[in-house]
Amino acid sequence: MLEPLEAVKPSAPLIHPEVASYRGLLHQIEKPSNVFVHLSWKKGDVEEGFRQSDLIVENTFRTPRAHQAYLEPHACVVKTDNNDHAEI
Walk along the chain (88 residues) and give the pLDDT tens digit of each residue.
Answer: 578 889 999 999 999 999 889 988 888 888 889 988 888 888 899 899 999 999 999 999 888 888 877 777 777 888 998 888 888 8
6-31 tens-digit pLDDT? 999 999 999 999 988 998 888 888 88
Bridging pattern class, strands 86-87 and 79-80: antiparallel
Domain ranges of the chain: 1-57
CA gap 47, 53 in Å, rounded: 10
Residue 76 near residue 88, CB atoms below 8 Å? yes
Sign of CA dihedral 10, 59, 69, 67: positive
